[in-house]
Amino acid sequence: MTFPFLANLTDISLLMLRLMVGLIFLTSGWKHASNPESRSTDIGMSKRFTLFLGIAESAGALGVIFGVLTQLAAIGLIFIMLGAIQKKIFTWHISFWGKQGTDGWSYDTTMVIMNLVIASTAGGRFVLERLSHSATPHP
């Protein structure tokens, strides 16, 4: 390992990753939930599904940010992104990079991988779930 001291930053790095992923999904979820009529037109889904999507994104984001049901939240966000990837590839026929170089499904794939890291590490040491377990006395 070239920089072994960087291993000391793993939990801080995971916290920062969770905060960034959560912020992205929280703002996206807010857009869907606060204006489902307009957003439903943009994404080609019903108004009710768009509202559900916004609530699901927001709930997943909060779970990831605070570290509550972290793995389930990250897996839920993965499924949302897989749906977005499916829509972009098979419905809208958008390439990996897209027409503008930033509107393809490369972003969505990155979000899948970021959430996979969160799910596979349970979000690291700095999660509320861990605090509740450490506060419980063991016999």
**Domain extents for the chain?**
11-122
Task: Quickly tell me which residue has 């940010």 as its tokens.
Answer: 65
Residue 10 has pLDDT above 90, yes or no: yes
Phi, psi of 6 (to 5 degrees): -65, -25
Averaged pLDDT, 91-103:
94
Residues 56-88: pLDDT tens digits? Answer: 999 999 999 999 999 999 999 999 999 999 999
Q: How far apart are the first and last CA of the chain?
A: 40
- Report yes or no: 73 and 60 within 8 Å, Cβ to Cβ: yes
Q: Which two tokens stand for residue 134?
A: 């450490």
Q: Determine the number of helices (DSSP H) and then strands (DSSP E) in the chain.
A: 6, 0
Question: What's the pLDDT tens digit per position in 114-135?
Answer: 999 999 999 999 999 888 666 5
Specify the amino acid at residue 135: A
> Model confidence at 1, in pLDDT bands (50, 70, 90)?
confident
Q: Is 3 left (phi over 0), alpha (psi -120 to 50) or beta?
A: beta
